[in-house]
Amino acid sequence: MNCSRNQVGCAGCSHGLSRRHFLKGLTAMAVTAGVCKGIGAAAPAGSSRRVRVALVFLGDGKERESWPYPGFDTATREREIMALLKEKCHGVEFIPVTVAAPGDASKALQLKEQVDGCLVYAMTLKWNLGGALAEIGKLGKPLLLADEFLGGCGLFLCSGAALHRAGVAAARVSSTRASDLAVVARRFADLRKPGLSPAAFAQRCEETYRRTFAAQGKSKCLADKVPLTDTSECIKRLKASRFLIVGAGNEGREADFLGIKGIYVGFDEFQAAYDKADKDEAAEWGRKWSGLAEKVVEPTPEWIAKAGAMYLAMLQVMKQHGTDSITMNCLGGFNAGKITAYPCLGFRQILDDGGQGVCEAMPDDSVSSLMARALTGRPGYVSDPTLDTSRNWIVYAHCMATTKVFGPQGAACRFRIRTLHNRDPRGTCAQSFLPKGYMTTSFRTNVARKKMVIHRAKAVGNLDRDRGCRTQLVGEVQGDIAKLFDQWDQFGWHRVTVYGDLLEPLTELGKALGLEVIKET
């Protein structure tokens, strides 16, 4: 099914999602369109003043590491959003402003005296625009935030949560259904009458927005008896664990993470292991992975073989340091020429074999994944989530995933070999189509703050959208999806997903480690 060009975002095709669910979604769109038509259609009695709203687009499609993908046509997308709002939000004049770099924020701020409110649309993943959003929040205007699906969601979630924690009243919309943004944006028409505070405006927006939410799922999950390890034994295993952090921090330093040892390894040490790797063996691993994959889409045999050499180098360095767990500053290292290829395919193999490979030199993700392994023997899937309230979905997207979610002895799911989110032809990663029908538990530690956040979602399928990261597991949120907007500033964008209904045992383990556990739904 092709995306409608006037949508805020489209969830695209989803493996395992039925025609009945699709038709149900169309019915919901029709109902919401009716609600949209009824809200703010007429000006409040005694007022015909036209409301002016700054429509601030955050993003730059030229950024290489950006979502939805490098070269995303932001100008066309801006015109589509403008046309949607102009059609649906009568009595409201939107003044478009593009903020593609931090210095552009002044273009939005100088409209303070000319507008009644602000709608900020996070279009692409450009982290250094979080400051611009914070400055807009300080204007004290009625404020509505929205995001492009698998586009600006990281900026939207993390910076939006930071505004919320700072006490800035801001309504938030994250939906793939165009009418959801329009129906909430029509609340700006309420500003025709003077005296409506930003907090009261945000409350009205949330009340309106909640009426567009999909119903919480009540379907049963497939049986999954998780083999759990006693908490005391988990603690013992964790205290004996160590993991490598490659390309971040001071080389040779050791650090304590809740009693787990993290060892910092420099790029020079790792690259030396890469240079010594047997290139014939590396090519053989490349051929093996290509044979196991459902399809090799973009990458060439040359770069898949180099990924094989990265895998052999990781095995060697882990052996030298007496561990089976590693995390690496992969994007930074490759872009700086410090490593020769990407480690993603090697991470998949390590995970499938019962070890641990984690992207982006992330100790908090590594500690979380070690907790999951100690408790269940299953791997963690580290991802960048995005929300879709129109379907009660959270989509866990990343360019590296296991294919054996039930542990090394479990069945493998199908996967393809793809380039990364940055579409670099030298990149290679696994696009995994993870099992559906099972309950999953997603969490993350913040070791420095001694906190842990946790929620559950039923795996209902996988997207295959050509935007964002390659693996796109879809979860049906268990609980109140609106609460999922609030914790991203404390814990960062990542979550670690483990198959199994693990809310209670992971909570118990977190508390035993001295963590404050926050349930985010």
| pTM, full prediction | 0.91
Q: Which residues of the chain have pLDDT under 50?
A: 1-46
Q: Are residues 204 and 139 in the same domain?
A: yes
Within-domain flag for 223: no
Query: Rounded CA gap, 449 and 246, in Å?
Result: 23
Domain assignment present for 297: yes
CB neighbours of 461 closer than 8 A, spacing ≥ 6?
14, 15, 16, 17, 436, 474
Residues 316 and 355 in one domain: yes
Model pLDDT for residues 198-221, shown as the tens digit of each residue = 999 999 999 999 999 999 878 899
Q: Are residues 243 and 199 in the same domain?
A: no
Residue 498 is assigned to a structural domain of this protein: yes
Q: Mapping DSSP to helix (H, G, I), strand (E, B) and coil, where does residue 497 land?
A: strand
Of 149, 179, 210, the last residue of a domain is 210
Amino acid at 85: L
CATH number of the structural domain spanning residue 157: 3.40.50.2300
- Compute the distance between CA of residue 374 and CA of residue 240 in angstroms, rounded to an integer: 11
Residues 106 and 160 in one domain: yes
Side-by-side strand order, sheet with 325-328: 254-257, 260-265, 242-246, 325-328, 356-359
Domain termination residue (choose one: 210, 242, 259): 210
Q: Are residues 265 and 344 in the same domain?
A: yes
**Does 514 lie in the same domain as 370?**
yes
Domain assignment present for residue 5? The answer is: no
Q: Are residues 337 and 377 in the same domain?
A: yes
Same domain, 84 and 196: yes
513 shares a domain with 432? yes
* Cα dihedral 145/146/147/152 (nearest 10): -10
Give the total number of structural domains in the chain. 2
Q: CA–CA separation, 432 vs 379, rounded Å?
A: 14
Q: Taking Cα atoms as reference points, which of 442, 16, 378, 355 lies closest to residue 225? A: 378
Q: Rounded to 5 degrees, what are φ and ψ at 207?
A: -60, -40
- Of the CA atoms within 13 Å of residue 137, those in its CB half-sphere come to 24
β-bridge pairing 471-477 and 451-463 = antiparallel
Report the phi/psi class of residue 423: left, alpha or beta, with left for phi > 0 and alpha for psi in -120 to 50: left
The reply to whether 226 falls in a domain is no
103 & 239 share domain: no
Please state whether the peptide bond connecting residue 68 to the residue before it is cis, i.e. omega within 30 degrees of 0: yes
pLDDT for 47 equals 53
| CATH number for the domain harbouring residue 414 | 3.20.14
In terms of residue numbers, what domain contains 158?
14-210
What pLDDT is attached to residue 48? 65
184 shares a domain with 239:
no
The CB density around residue 207, as the number of other CB atoms within 10 Å, is 12
* Final residue before a domain boundary, out of 181, 210, 239: 210
Tell me, yes or no, whether 190 and 327 share the same domain.
Answer: no
